[in-house]
Structure 1
């Protein structure tokens, strides 16, 4: 087993009057040649957007993008006439493919919105752009990591890559074994809240750890925890 440990305090940071964003991997003005990607996982941004503000219309191409709201309400719009407000318990996915323009705005004029924006490199470029949103609330179960993205029919959402996302809130004192779905994959653990132990290493709030060259790993919750796992191919 090989591991890459990223403490929350080592992330890149972009701070504007409307945006407070932390970057696990190189993004915007933050660049670290040792932290460009983890396999096919290219971007993991932890964003907080001020009331009534947001990312105006901008382009994307040949990237798989998923947004996971944590607090507040996030409004999506794009050049394919999709418009949707997503909240915690929803997720949205977008295949940029040959090119798409989109915006992500705080729907509220009084409260900030917090969300994770994650980019995954696609297995094939120049596909048709696509957008979808999902309500994952009916699937979430206490003390379980629920699959929310998969390349087959085992989860509600799919991306154009052999990637599996799992998320869940797990109480203190639980042990969860995670098994890789595909040989050669690695899994990136992002601790949204809480405190966990992963094969002897402690992760705190917003810490991340990439694990590869392993068939499985064990998560132990030291405190009540909100956990996100992103399994991706390590060779892209």
Structure 2
């Protein structure tokens, strides 16, 4: 029997630090909600806006898969394993923190905001050697289809992580319909609407709504507005 959880955009945690405006789909930092700790191994989904020239100073992570998806602008990344890079809209970045890594993230531009999703996934292997990767995606490849951007395999599309998870991005014409079939039995899918109005089965969703489904093998997707954009995060439900 299908199970689901609905997180409307206006029920998310919110923190405004002046230079950083952040919305939390799950408990994070000073936002604590015991009913919103995670969705399976999806632990953090932060919707961040960073002021021009500002950012996060060097800070540590351990045993977490950290995924960044820029939605607007450019984000500069530096870490203590030798990477100095900039990611932009159309890119995806992953960092396996493993035994420990320090990194910083700054808005690369002095005259415009940067908007990005920061996502943490609990890994299926502990204390791995830290690693970093990023890829530039072909945005055209997500028109009226779910473009795979992350998987468990180095040889598959997108970046890879230490977890049986698959992420897809899609941008759809109004009234377009399709079916999403889960990759692995026992997984669930957390749907996050980036823009527009959609329906998952019979559930209507709009900008920044989150909707998690599990105990399913597939679901129907319908776009109800032009250029509706959505991120699907298929993840194991057991920690």
Which TM bucket (shorter chain)?
Answer: over 0.9
Could you say which residue in structure 2 is the equivalent of 1:25? Answer: 26
CA deviations over 1:141-194 (Å, ceiling 9, x no partner): 311110110112331210000000000111110112001111100000000000
Distance 2:99 2:205 in 1: 38
Distance 2:182 2:106 in 1: 35
Give the CA deviation at 1:140.
Answer: 2.2
Distance 2:214 2:79 in 1: 36
2:213 equivalent to 1:233? no
Give the CA deviation at 1:80.
Answer: 0.7
CA contact (8 A) 1:139 1:146 kept: no
Which one is further off, 139-148 or 73-82?
A: 139-148
RMSD: 0.9
CA deviations over 1:112-149 (Å, ceiling 9, x no partner): 10000000000011000000110112672311110110
Give the CA deviation at 1:110.
Answer: 0.8
Distance 1:15 1:31 in 2: 15
Give the CA deviation at 1:17.
Answer: 1.0
Distance 1:139 1:85 in 2: 21
CA deviations over 1:32-81 (Å, ceiling 9, x no partner): 00000000000000000000000110000000011000000000100011
Could you say which residue in structure 1 is the equivalent of 2:103? Answer: 102
Give the CA deviation at 1:230.
Answer: 0.2
Distance 1:30 1:141 in 2: 33
2:147 equivalent to 1:146? yes
Structure 1 moving runs of 4+ over 6 Å: none
Distance 1:157 1:140 in 2: 16
Distance 1:57 1:142 in 2: 37
**SS at the partner of 2:160?**
coil
Structure 1 residue runs of 5 or longer lacking an equivalent are none
Structure 2 residue runs of 5 or longer lacking an equivalent are none
Distance 1:223 1:160 in 2: 35
Could you say which residue in structure 2 is the equivalent of 1:54? Answer: 55
2:86 equivalent to 1:90? no
Q: How many residues align?
A: 236
Could you say which residue in structure 1 is the equivalent of 2:185? Answer: 183
CA contact (8 A) 1:178 1:218 kept: yes
CA deviations over 1:68-121 (Å, ceiling 9, x no partner): 000000001000110111111111000000000001100001101000000000
Distance 1:148 1:23, change over 3 A: same
